[in-house]
Amino acid sequence: MSDTSSLVGIVETTVELKSSSEKFHDMLVGRPHHLSDASPSNLQGYGETRVMKHKMESLEPEKNRVTYRVLEGDLMNEYKSFVITFQVTPKEGEPGSIAHWHFEYEKINEEVAHPETLLQFAVEVSKEMDEHLLSEE
């Protein structure tokens, strides 16, 4: 029997954005159907296709924060649980915002990698979303 603590983990990162926290949060939460337009190379690209069904566990619009629990899909072949929390906050004293991605997970076994590639994917999508939002202005 393996040690459960070595299977449980958290990875997180931040991304500097030029767009406002409200606009960025609105696209991610309020207009998710526009994400494929905002990040076509990542969400309609030619790489490996991954499918994910999730439910929103919490939404804090006043903090531009949302938490999703993955229910089904490719991730669940590697993880017993996977929770994604996203928050975007305004930069202090200057335009723009900071996106914070937080993944909390439990791997099914030791052979499963920590989700750094998924975190990098979130960074790339965030940057493309930011560029898309700026082009809309």
Q: What percent of the chain has pLDDT over 90?
A: 60
pTM of the model: 0.84
Please say if the pLDDT value at position 88 is more than 70. Answer: yes
- Bridge-based pairing of strands 52-60 and 65-73 is antiparallel
Please say if the pLDDT value at position 63 is more than 90. Answer: yes
Q: Which domains does the chain have, with CATH numbers?
A: 4-136 (3.30.530.20)
Stretch among 9-13, 32-36, 87-91, 116-120 having the lowest mean pLDDT? 32-36
Q: 4 is written with which tokens? A: 């459960």
